């Protein structure tokens, strides 16, 4: 009898030990765009073994790897998406996350806004602080500087600098104010956009501050753009336009391809970029050199260690891109491709938006050949112009800045579909 009781006690204790193992998956629920990616996490309690097996409910909804990185299907599946993590310690312990796929990546929300004191700069305007919240990434503050023309504004132009947009356009480039003043002279409202700096300096990586990857962090620019359109422009009968250099051009590429914002823009002018439109090419560095018609040389599409470290890695939780640049590893290729501007799920017909690319003849980077990865698949109105003496920071030369300003006067008009 005592032996039977002991055996039952052992069984009971064993069952109790198993019952204490639990798995919690986050985030859930979550809405994301087709073709985008998200890294899920699982917390296991009741055991020191944190290892889990990841799975999706159906092959048609996308894939998930052993680290919890889910890459969504490029078209809407006929079934819902369920992501499951199962404890490797106890295969009876699991948890699931529900995912809703949308045709575009979701734009975030401005939680609050206020008028603030402008930093010292060349142009007088009104400055705003926006608390921007986007799905799957940390909230961030965007800062705007609105400068009005002398008469009634006939439209609005956003100006965004390079990198993560951490410096006002007028201060970021030698002749930045020249391009702005040309737009003001044409009776356009100017709104400069920056993220954290120069108003504060806690996040010098600006909109590229991760983790989340550049496609997801571009939500901040899409959200700020919509706020300007709805609250400062506030008139859809007038043109709404934007220009940005280098990393800022990368942001414009993402929001046009993945966030469905083309409907609000009449003109988008990326200059010197997007410099890593095909991010897999930029990070893996396995592609052959391509003829650069502006410089007249063969140019590689690799972003290089410095650019990877400065502009791509900060959008992730690790040095994922610079590591690939050094090792030539393609192991993260699916994530890099998902985070590119040209993807199978993207939108490349913009009937009411003209896309005008400017590139520099003295730009030794991969920007010109990389931008071609986007420009050549645009099926609506677009063009590319070369500024022979312009370096990568294109508005650092006078004729580069003048071209930006003149293009605004020429193309920032309501486009007929």
- Name which of 212, 221, 41 is nearest 137 in CA terms: 212
Residue 371 lies in a domain: yes
Residues 328/284, Cβ–Cβ less than 8 Å: yes
Task: Determine the structural domain holding residue 73 and report its residue range.
Answer: 2-102
Last residue of a domain, one of 102, 125, 145: 102
- Give kind and range of the element (H or E) at residue 320: helix 320-327
Beta bridge partner(s), residue 149: none
Residue 94 lies in a domain: yes
Position 201 scores a pLDDT of: 76
Residue 416 lies in a domain: no
Residues 264/229, Cβ–Cβ less than 8 Å: yes
Last residue of a domain, one of 102, 136, 157: 102
- Same-domain check for residues 261 and 166: yes
- Same-domain check for residues 387 and 402: yes
pLDDT in tens, 291-310: 999 999 999 999 999 999 99
Tell the residue number behind the tokens 């959200």, with chain if given.
223
- Same-domain check for residues 121 and 148: yes
CATH of the domain at 82: 2.60.40.10
Position 50 scores a pLDDT of: 96
Beta bridge partner(s), residue 355: 268, 382
Q: What is the domain count for the chain?
A: 2
417 residues of the chain, pLDDT tens digit each? 455 565 555 555 555 545 689 999 999 999 999 999 999 999 999 999 999 999 999 999 999 999 999 999 999 999 999 999 999 999 999 999 999 999 999 999 999 999 999 988 889 999 999 999 999 999 999 999 999 999 999 999 999 999 999 999 999 999 999 999 999 999 999 999 999 877 887 778 999 999 999 999 999 999 999 999 999 999 999 999 999 999 999 999 999 999 999 999 999 999 999 999 999 999 999 999 999 999 999 999 999 999 999 999 999 999 999 999 999 999 999 999 999 999 999 999 999 999 999 999 999 999 999 999 999 999 999 999 999 999 999 999 999 999 999 999 999 999 988
pLDDT in tens, 163-178: 999 999 999 999 999 9
CATH of the domain at 382: 3.40.50.1820
Alpha-helical segments (H) within 173-246: 176-185, 214-217, 219-228
- Same-domain check for residues 98 and 117: no
């Amino acid at each position: 009898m005592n032996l039977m009781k002991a055996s039952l006690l052992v069984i009971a204790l064993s069952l109790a030990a198993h019952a204490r193992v639990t798995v919690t998956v986050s985030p859930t629920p979550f809405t994301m765009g087709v073709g985008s990616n998200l890294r899920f996490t699982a917390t296991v309690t009741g055991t020191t073994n944190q290892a889990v097996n990841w799975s999706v409910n159906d092959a048609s909804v996308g894939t998930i790897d052993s680290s919890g990185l889910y890459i969504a299907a490029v078209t809407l599946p006929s079934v819902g998406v369920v992501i499951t993590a199962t404890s490797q310690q106890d295969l009876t312990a699991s948890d699931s996350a529900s995912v809703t796929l949308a045709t575009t990546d979701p734009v975030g929300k401005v939680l609050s806004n206020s008028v603030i004191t402008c930093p010292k700069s060349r142009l007088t305007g009104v400055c705003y602080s926006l608390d921007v919240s986007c799905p799957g990434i940390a909230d961030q503050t965007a800062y705007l500087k609105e400068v009005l023309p002398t008469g009634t504004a006939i439209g609005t132009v956003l100006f965004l600098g390079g990198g993560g947009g951490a410096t006002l356009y007028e201060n970021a480039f030698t002749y930045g104010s020249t391009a702005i003043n040309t737009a003001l002279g044409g009776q356009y409202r100017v709104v400069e956009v920056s993220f954290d700096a120069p108003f504060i300096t806690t996040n010098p990586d600006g909109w590229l501050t991760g983790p989340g990857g550049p496609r997801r962090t571009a939500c901040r620019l899409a959200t700020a753009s919509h706020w300007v359109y709805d609250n400062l422009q506030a008139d859809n009968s007038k043109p709404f336009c934007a220009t940005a250099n280098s990393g800022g051009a990368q942001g414009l590429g993402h929001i046009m391809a993945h966030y469905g914002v083309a409907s609000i823009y009449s003109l988008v002018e990326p200059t010197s970029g997007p410099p890593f439109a095909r991010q897999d090419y930029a990070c893996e560095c396995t592609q052959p050199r391509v003829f650069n018609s502006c410089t007249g040389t063969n140019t590689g599409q690799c972003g290089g260690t410095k650019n990877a470290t400065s502009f791509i890695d900060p959008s992730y939780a690790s040095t994922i891109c610079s590591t690939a640049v050094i090792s030539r590893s393609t192991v993260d290729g699916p994530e890099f491709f998902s985070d590119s501007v040209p993807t199978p799920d993207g939108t490349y017909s913009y009937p009411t938006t003209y896309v005008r690319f400017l590139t520099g003849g003295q730009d030794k980077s991969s920007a010109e050949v990389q931008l071609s990865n986007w420009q050549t698949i645009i099926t609506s109105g677009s063009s590319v112009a070369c500024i022979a003496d312009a370096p990568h920071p294109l508005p650092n030369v006078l004729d580069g800045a003048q071209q930006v300003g003149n293009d605004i006067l020429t193309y920032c008009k309501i486009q007929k579909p």
